[in-house]
Amino acid sequence: MRPRSSSAWETQRSFDELGRPLRDITFCVVDLETTGGSAEGGSMITEIGAVKVRGGEILGEFQTLVNPHTAIPPFIAVLTGISNTMVADAPGIESALPAFLEFAQGCVLVAHNAPFDVGFLKHFAAQQGRPWPAFEVVDTAKLARRVITRDDAPNCKLSSLAVLFRAGTEPNHRALSDARATVDVLHGLMERLGGLGVHTLEELQTFSARVSTAQRKKRHLAETLPHAPGVYLFRDDRERVLYVGTSRDLRTRVRSYFTASETRSRMGEMVGLAATVTGIECATTLEAQIRELRLIAEHKPRYNRRSRFPEKMHFVKLTREPWPRLSLVKRVLDDQADYLGPFSSRKVAEKALQVLHDTFPVRQCSDRLARKAARTPCVLAEMGRCLSPCDGSADEAAYDTVVRQLRDTLLHRPDEVIDAISERMSTLAAAERFEEAGVHRDRLAAFLRAASRTQRLSALSRCAEMVAARRGDDGRWEVHVVRRGRLAAAGTMPPGGDAHGYVEQLRASAETVLPAPGPVPAASAEESELVLRWLESPGIRLIDIDGEWTCPVAGATRHLAVHDAVESSRRDLVPFDERRDLTPVHRPTR
């Protein structure tokens, strides 16, 4: 894949634009008085008060009573001092709201317990059919809970914080007075946070006491990263890779590790060890995701939990020998054998293997047998679960027929397995042996997933080259070249450019990919599945294909979808307190 010199998402911002300095932000601090606690429940606004402030300077104030067109409850009137008489001649919310929105235009909204005030305003905007402006919001109550301790104030109520920060206005449950007090609380909080290295709106919005001062001091590590999609690598002072991640905006994402709340304790530990952060800009999101997988597999960072060991896979192999058998292997060889997988663990592979042995009576011994063998039959042969080629009693043509059916099951149609296991499950369920039936159900699910994965991946690996494109969110075409299941090139077509010429240039510069042994793609299964998900997403346009990209119509994917749908419906019918006994059939992917 070719390195890129410019962002596909947006023009590079200036070096100083790591965040918007708080001193340059115009805040609109707002407070409401209402007839109750829920706009959806019928409560109305009785007063709006707001103060516009920037850099500590008051730019303007807004205050209006609002006629709720309903009686104000007596206890609300006592609390706020707003009576029915006072609001009788006041404008209704249909006039007051547009006036407030005009006053607050272009500002960052601030409120103490912002979900309450902003929720009321949004409700009445929607009721009037007005589009809600894309206000950014700062909640002083939420911020205070992250900064103020019990030693500072008994709680984070506005009245308590006003005392703590020596507000010039005492809150009294009138909108403008409370908004003025909130302004002083906001400035007090900003002064405290400034000592902790919080100087921008982005840092203010994401501040958490979980992030230590030492971590915050490392935010300069993000300064050299672009506002572009790609992959980032945290390294320690010995240049060892600690963590690999991906993002649509490298600088913003990496900066959040030093300023935002990180609930994963190991990430805080990782940031404490980090000495440098490297960014790799990518043309598309898919390229970034795949680069992440490859870098994790290469460096095996201690703080990444997934995708570190793609080589640790297991396969079920149908051997090519006089008396073929099934075996568990860790590698695919170019030996003309048939393979099922890959499986992420030996345990899951054993489940699928057991299902196949339950359906097809091929031998389970592990040694090689001559065409004319003469040994003592094993226990399985005596039980009728093996055609017994070891003692010479097996009919060669009959055994070959079973092997052909087994091979067809692995590669094309899983009907034999589904019918046999479903019949066994029904028999066990009728005998009320539900746990045993559940074991067979799980084995069948493991087999179907593996067969579906095999069929889809092998179909992709058979294509020597695929070129596909999709229009991105910015209107530009993302183009990918995929060779034998591996992403070989990625790019974003420049606007107004020669599409044909661009595609040909991308193909010419794409990575050369040789075929992998057997049916597996020339990439990790996880990478090829990412490619498949992208190819199967809406809006894809196939530009060119060298090979045949097909899957069996009656293959495992169709049966797996039906199986999962049935399981989902079955779980929905089971009482919640009984679901603990159900083994999940489908685990969500990453």
CB 200, CB 220: distance < 8 Å: no
> Which residues are catalytic, by number?
173
Q: Is 375 left (phi over 0), alpha (psi -120 to 50) or beta?
A: beta
Residue 415: left (phi > 0), alpha (psi -120 to 50), or beta?
Answer: alpha
Task: Spell out the alpha helix ranges (H) of 392-538.
Answer: 396-411, 415-430, 434-461, 499-508, 525-535
CB-CB contact of 488 with 460 (8 Å): no
DSSP state of 73: P
- Residue in the block written with tokens 């409370």: 178
> DSSP readout, 336-349?
S-EEEEEESSHHHH
Is-contact 502 467, C-beta < 8 A? no
What sign results for the dihedral spanned by CA atoms 442, 448, 451, 455? negative
CB 19 within 8 A of CB 100: no
Q: What is the DSSP string of 109-171?
A: EEETTHHHHHHHHHHHHHHTTPPPP---EEEHHHHHHHH--TTT-SS--HHHHHHHTT-SS--
Q: What is the DSSP letter of 233?
A: E
Q: Where are the alpha helices (DSSP H) in 165-277?
A: 175-194, 201-206, 213-216, 250-259, 265-273
What backbone phi and psi angles, to 5 degrees, belong to 560?
-65, -40
Please state, in angstroms and rounded to a whole number, the distance separating the CA atoms of residues 256 and 268: 12
Query: Closest Cα partner for 50 from 201, 169, 182?
Result: 182
Paired sense of beta strands 241-247 and 230-235, if any: antiparallel
Q: Is the distance from CB of 275 to CB of 236 less than 8 angstroms? A: yes
